Amino acid sequence: MKFRVTFHRIVSWWLAFFALLTILTGYATARRWFTNQELITDIHIIIKWSFIFLILFHLIYTFIFVNFKGTIVKNPRVHWVRLIQQITKWLILGFTILIIISGFSYYDWTKPILPYWVLAKIHVVFDIGLTLSIIIHLMAGFKIMSKRKRINKLWIDVLIITIGSILIIGAIILEILYLT
């Protein structure tokens, strides 16, 4: 049982890492941060497919092996961080599905299904929701990890909120810069 939980946590953090890499390379591709656009696009596609397989594995593993009890719903005041993590989990799943489907606009086989501009627009519009959901989900994950490790200090909470706020503000600034 302990191995399953440890393995689930390791996969979760790798998933978070690949999610952030996918988002960063996606921003770099869409905003043309690099002169060699073909290389960054290829890197984004490789990381994207790794993220897709990792999130599918994570979902299947979570539903089969991880036993979530109803304590979150029964006592949300005590488990408010877990509740935030559960809400953001479903937001991440929804946004990820939209982003993945719209990301297929890169491939020729999707052209007859929906026009490119529809898929590209969906991909760009919902990426900020995915990014913010992942950041908040990670902040909750770090808080839960610090409680589990019994590092329940005020400075840890301040650090989590500060870094999370910087990431949220950075994502919003990137989005605003892209729109202008």
Domain spans of the chain? 1-67, 71-180
Question: Between these two residues, 42 and 77, which has the higher pLDDT value?
Answer: 42
Residues sharing a CB contact under 8 Å with residue 48, sequence separation 6 or more, in sequence order: 22, 25, 26, 100, 103
Share of the chain above pLDDT 90, in %: 13
pLDDT tens digits, 11-52: 888 888 888 898 888 888 877 888 888 899 899 989 988 988
Structure tokens at 120: 């590209």
Question: What pLDDT, on a 0 to 100 scale, did the predictor assign at position 112?
Answer: 73
Question: What pLDDT, on a 0 to 100 scale, did the predictor assign at position 90?
Answer: 87
pTM of the predicted protein model: 0.75
